[in-house]
Amino acid sequence: MAQKKLLTNGKAFKRTDARWGGTVWYMDERGERKRKSFSGTTKAEVTKKMTNYVAAFKEELQESDESRKTLKESMTHWLQVFKFPCMLLYKP
């Protein structure tokens, strides 16, 4: 199973309509290459948007990494997601 990962931190460029654009490339869970595009009126605005996106992306990766969680956190998550919904449906 492929893991989501960041391929570039992004690069700002001037578009033909006098605005600024930027693109961040990443690999999704299925191993497909994807891109997230940003646009704005100034280079600083686009750079700020890309920086915020990259920071949020890295934070999401860190939170989703099960190998860095404690056993208690992993088991609590497993119970809430997989076990408790089944128990609610089961009535003796």
Domain ranges of the chain: 5-89
Predicted confidence at residue 61, as pLDDT, reads 82
Question: Higher pLDDT residue, 18 or 79?
Answer: 18
Question: Higher pLDDT residue, 38 or 8?
Answer: 38
Record the tokens describing residue 20, joined without a space: 């600024």
N- to C-terminal Cα separation, the chain? 38
Q: Model's pTM, two decimal places?
A: 0.67
> Span 1-29, mean pLDDT?
88
Pair 50, 10: CB distance under 8 Å:
yes
Q: What is the mean pLDDT of the chain?
A: 85
Q: Which of 44, 34, 43, 35 is nearest to 15 (CA)?
A: 43
Structure confidence by residue, pLDDT tens digits, 33-66: 999 999 999 999 999 999 999 999 988 887 777 7
- Res. 8: pLDDT tops 80: yes
Cα-based distances in Å from 60 to 12, 53, 65, 84: 23, 10, 9, 25
Beta-carbon contacts of 32 under 8 Å, excluding residues fewer than 6 positions away, are: none
Query: Hey, is 26 helix, strand or coil?
Result: strand
